């Protein structure tokens, strides 16, 4: 016996249901490359106890008394160097990824995007999707390698948003995909294309991942292991096309005095040049979209460091972004996780 839809009473409020959505999520960005906007962003970001695991009674006076009074001006200058006509690179690229995925998924699935810190917020997007009738949402943090400071805090924010809702949508979350065949294949295809377009194959390719304090590894965070596995699989995939190119793994974006995962990208770039390496490329496979850390820290600062230390040819390779290879990967991952819903 099958149930039959009953007509709603004339005075019944509208309650749209039955739609499926995908919400792409990335880290976040200031609203503008200005000191005030950067300060607001850093306050939210650096107050997250998943990001800074220091007791608030110790950390907050340092954050509010020192860091938020010194770092925003410097960071605003860095953001200004990479800001585009369509705004923050990270936000602009994530929006393009959502638009490209929407075209691939068709009318049966709605694709949107949000940021963990800054705008548009996860809470606002989840509420808007539910209001529009999406009672099944695939929450997709675009972090290939799992970390408590990235994937987990995004899911925390999702949970906080759901806690405010009386009628919650059903949720699935995209798991880390550090060793997914589609991810490794996309990286190989895109990096091979970029390397082949260079004047010469570089002597060294650094695979630079965002750094984390070393203590997170000892506390059980799988991030370091995920990065190392990605690097190994990618190096093996690239070896067939570029057998003479040495591939090494490093970690960037150190902050503070704690010991971080090593080797560090900045010191490795300098050391390689001083050791006689004349051509180098740097790829950042842990970033799903280009952002301040790739466009300013690696592309600009990295180049200056390499050339000043005696290097001659330096290339910062772009992230997967909304390239064909990147979107093929994202579509494959999303369709896999939507099985049974669409």
pLDDT for the residue 13: 66
Residue 174 neighbours by CB under 8 Å, 6+ apart: 138, 139, 140, 141, 333, 334, 337
Question: Does the N-terminal peptide bond of residue 77 adopt cis geometry, omega within 30 degrees of 0?
Answer: no
pLDDT for the residue 3: 42
pLDDT for the residue 257: 82
Position of tokens 């990605």?
230
Residue 317 neighbours by CB under 8 Å, 6+ apart: 191, 194, 195, 281, 282, 283, 284
pTM over cut 0.85? yes
225, two tokens: 């292991």
Q: Tens of pLDDT along the chain (342 residues)?
A: 444 556 767 766 677 789 999 999 999 999 999 999 999 999 999 999 999 999 999 999 999 999 999 999 999 999 999 999 999 999 999 999 999 999 999 999 999 999 999 999 999 999 999 999 999 999 999 999 999 999 999 999 999 999 999 999 999 999 999 999 999 999 999 999 999 999 999 999 999 999 999 999 999 999 999 999 999 999 999 999 999 999 999 999 998 888 999 999 999 999 999 999 999 999 999 999 999 999 999 999 999 999 999 999 999 999 999 999 999 999 999 999 999 999
- Cα–Cα–Cα angle for 238, 243, 248, nearest 5°? 65
28 membership: H or E segment, kind and range: strand 19-29
Q: Give Cα 292 to chain centroid, integer Å.
A: 11
Residue 214 neighbours by CB under 8 Å, 6+ apart: 258, 259, 260, 261, 262
DSSP at 301: I
CA distance 263 to 131: 47
pLDDT for the residue 96: 98
Burial code of 238-273, b = ≥16 C-beta within 10 A, e = fewer? Answer: beeebeebebbbbbbbbeeeeebbeebbbebbbebb
pLDDT for the residue 2: 42
CA distance 28 to 87: 13
């Amino acid at each position: 016996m099958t149930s039959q839809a009953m007509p709603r009473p004339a005075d019944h409020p509208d309650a749209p249901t039955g739609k499926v959505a995908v919400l792409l999520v990335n880290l976040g960005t200031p609203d503008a490359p200005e000191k005030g906007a950067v300060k607001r962003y850093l306050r939210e970001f650096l107050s997250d106890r998943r990001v800074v695991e220091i007791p608030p009674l110790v950390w907050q006076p340092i954050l509010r008394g020192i860091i938020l009074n010194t770092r925003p001006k410097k960071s605003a200058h860095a953001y200004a160097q990479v800001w585009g006509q369509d705004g923050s690179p990270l936000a602009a690229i994530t929006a393009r990824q959502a638009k490209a995925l929407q075209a691939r998924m068709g009318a049966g699935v709605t694709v949107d995007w949000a940021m963990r810190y800054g705008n548009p917020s996860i809470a606002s997007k989840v509420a808007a999707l539910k209001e529009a009738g999406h009672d099944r949402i695939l929450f997709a943090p675009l972090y290939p390698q799992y970390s408590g400071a990235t994937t987990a805090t995004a899911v925390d924010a999702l949970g906080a948003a759901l806690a405010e809702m009386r009628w919650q949508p059903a949720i699935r979350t995209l798991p880390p995909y550090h060793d997914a065949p589609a991810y490794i294949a996309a990286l190989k295809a895109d990096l091979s294309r970029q390397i082949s377009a260079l004047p010469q194959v570089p002597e060294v390719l650094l695979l630079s991942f965002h750094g984390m304090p070393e203590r997170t590894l000892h506390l059980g965070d799988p991030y370091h292991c995920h990065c190392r596995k990605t690097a190994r699989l990618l190096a093996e995939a690239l070896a067939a096309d570029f057998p003479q190119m040495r591939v090494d793994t490093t970690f960037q974006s150190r902050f503070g005095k704690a010991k971080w995962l090593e080797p560090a990208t900045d010191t490795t770039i300098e050391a390689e040049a001083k050791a006689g390496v004349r051509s180098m490329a740097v790829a950042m496979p842990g970033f799903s979209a280009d952002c301040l850390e790739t466009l300013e820290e690696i592309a600009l600062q990295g180049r200056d460091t390499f050339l000043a230390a005696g290097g001659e040819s330096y290339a910062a390779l772009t992230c997967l972004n909304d390239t064909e290879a990147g979107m093929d990967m994202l579509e494959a991952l999303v369709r896999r996780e939507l099985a049974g819903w669409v």
